[in-house]
Structure 1
Amino acid sequence: MIVSLIPHPSEPSGPLTSLEVHLERKGERLWVRFVAEGAVQDVEWPGPAEPVRTDELWKHSCFEVFIATTGGYREFNLSPSSQWASYRFEGGYRMGMANADAVAMIDPLDLAEDMLALEAHLDLPSPVGKLGLTAVIEAKDGSKTYWALAHPSDKPDFHHPDSFVLDLP
């Protein structure tokens, strides 16, 4: 399955011209490939780091997967640095945040003059509900753009329940 993310309408698209996500369910795991195209050399990509769980990755260029579950949702943050994070929220919108046991494994980046692709394999929660796919893209000038499948509010808010719109086969 391939879907396109769109920039939040309140912000310009920044250095990117498109952002696609390829995904495939593989049993209890999800394979995702985020493909950013455009002036990728004008994006502030995090440098390589140890592939460990790290908080606050969303403060810089980062790709994200949100998965609705019974009574809450999961959030995965995937950095081009190879760092990652997984969180669980229980009880609704931004409630009961804690580290999730789920693990993300990020493959080496695929980089070309006008494209950067990040692939990852994620542990899926059970049951799996609708997905939200998002990205924070930080330009070298410090400005940020916010990409998602849907933007249901006037400000970027990836946790908004109406941004979880994709059914995973």
Structure 2
Amino acid sequence: MMSNEHEVSLDKDVERKPKVKVERKEGEPTSAFKGASWGALLVGVSGYLIGLFNAGMELNEKGYYFAVLVFGLYAAVSLQKAVRDREEDIPVTNIYYGISWFALIVSISLMAIGLYNAGSIVLSEKGFYGMSFVLSIFAAITVQKNIRDTQRAKERD
């Protein structure tokens, strides 16, 4: 049986290096959160595109699903920017705000309707495309938010 005295002396022998603290500006997201956001976007978009590339569907169907992804990503980022601008009292016209909402709803609807009516896609693939689409949209919003928060934090200096 070891004594507490011996355990304490072992702890003293171990050199402890001080942790290097990375200075973050107020309001700036952590590097881990930025990395996780970019990783989620990369996984979502690349998974969706790899699945689309390997799918046994007609080229026009592949084009449809690709266009819906691009449209959805743009609509999500546009809406996030419009909402954030309004929150920060940056002028956003009602028409732009409304179109941003409309575009996101249309892109999600086009994806849902396309997957529902796709006879050449098995149910598991439909789920895969749906989840990749949602992950990509969420990650795009988060990446855009991180970029904006980082830029704002740098401007405060």
Identify whether the pair has TM-score above 0.5, normalized to the shorter chain.
Answer: no
Hey, which of these two has a bigger chunk of strand by percent?
1
Larger radius of gyration: 2
For normalisation by structure 2, the TM-score amounts to: 0.26
Hey, which of these two has a bigger chunk of helix by percent?
2
For normalisation by structure 1, the TM-score amounts to: 0.25
